[in-house]
Amino acid sequence: MLSDRAGPPLWLLAELTYRCPLQCPYCSNPLDFHRHNQELDTEEWLRVFKEAREMGAAQLGLSGGEPLIRQDLETLIAEARGMGYYTNLISSGIGMTRERVASLKKAGLDHIQLSFQDSDPAGNNALAGSHKAFKTKLEMAQCVKEFDYPMVINFVLHRQNIDHIESILQLCAEVGADYVELANAQYYGWALHNRDALLPTKEQIEKAEAVTARFRKRYGKAMQIYFVVPDYFESRPKPCMNGWASIFLTITPDGLALPCHSARDLPIDFPSVKDHSIDDIWWQSPGFNHFRGDSWMKSPCRECDEKEQDFGGCRCQAYLLTGDAANADPVCAKSPHHHSVKSAVERAAGSDDVQALVLRNVGNARALSAEEQ
């Protein structure tokens, strides 16, 4: 029996804006992000930070879109540091300058995670939808190092760049990365829309893991490498978000409070921080209580002896692939919908004929919304 009673939120993710100069086709933002353009102002964000901190939140992630677009970023960081948060900026590096890194440092920012798309400039720029992205990212990586931040580099891996793993890791070593996160794309938002063009084959993943093992051996603790396997290749689901509304709290740019970054797509009413306190949202709102405990579970999760380890997997993935968020995550081999994941993997294995990627931008978002109507 899983307890209905969660602890307080420990990890607050502030998605400061959906605006972004890049157009990555695996972005986890909702497909209709262009409809939600009323961003919280500085005071509203600070109230959110304060209320979550009073409840016990200690880690603050600042992401987007591209958080550097927010001109009040330094104010938000300085105030959050003053409240006692550990602050982590999740950025593409575009829009960063040496002066901006200096002012972020002065504001007290603890940690910067920089994302790259590929090790090859042309490939990187095509995926980012920006001809100068690679050069800027390299310069900013050096700058981050110069300001004495641990160098944390994130590559989202997928079918179109995973074969470059050797040069990706070589690049990370050359820029002096302390930590490398090789995160295979997770299929939500834009990534789900582009799934057939992004899902790698099993062989690609195995080769990438072998190369990663070689680099781990060579660099040891000097460059720590995390390789996150796409869950489509697993037979058991991930314990998504460590359980629904158990430690993670995400706030969207327009103030919607979510238990995870993808929940906006679920047919559940989530509260806005404009109307409710964080305390009320976390403990009282039907949205946050929806999948706590196990009374919501259907078979096979309900009687499964692994439910305390994986909580039935990911609610968003269950909804996106089966149409019902209370179903078992179809990644699980026990799920009656497991075939939906298997057939996507089989399609990827059998086809070199890759569909064109749809880049994440306002024009494409509008076109997709129009198609839906």
User: Which residues participate in the annotated binding site?
Assistant: 20, 24, 27
Min CB(241)–ligand FES separation in Å: 5
N residues, the chain: 373
Kindly report the backbone phi and psi dihedral angles of residue 202, in degrees, each rounded to the nearest multiple of 5, phi listed first: -60, -40
**Which positions touch ligand FES (CB under 6 A)?**
240-241, 260, 262-263, 314-316
Binding-site sequence positions for [4Fe-4S] cluster: 20, 24, 27
Instruction: Look at the alpha carbons of 278, 284, 288, 294 in this order and tell me if their dihedral is positive or negative.
Output: positive
- Of 240 and 301, nearer to ligand FES (C-beta) is 240
Per DSSP (E only), the strands in the chain are 11-15, 59-63, 86-91, 111-116, 152-157, 179-184, 224-228, 248-251, 257-258
Q: How far apart are CA 3 and CA 6, in angstroms?
A: 7
* 240 vs 249 by CB, closer to ligand FES: 240
We find the least distance from the C-beta atom of residue 20 to ligand FES, in angstroms, to be: 20
Q: Are 197 and 356 in contact (CB under 8 A)?
A: yes
Of 188, 97, 184, 204, the closest CA to residue 140 belongs to 97
Nearest distance from C-beta of residue 112 to ligand FES, angstroms: 24
Contact 144, 117 (CB under 8 A): no
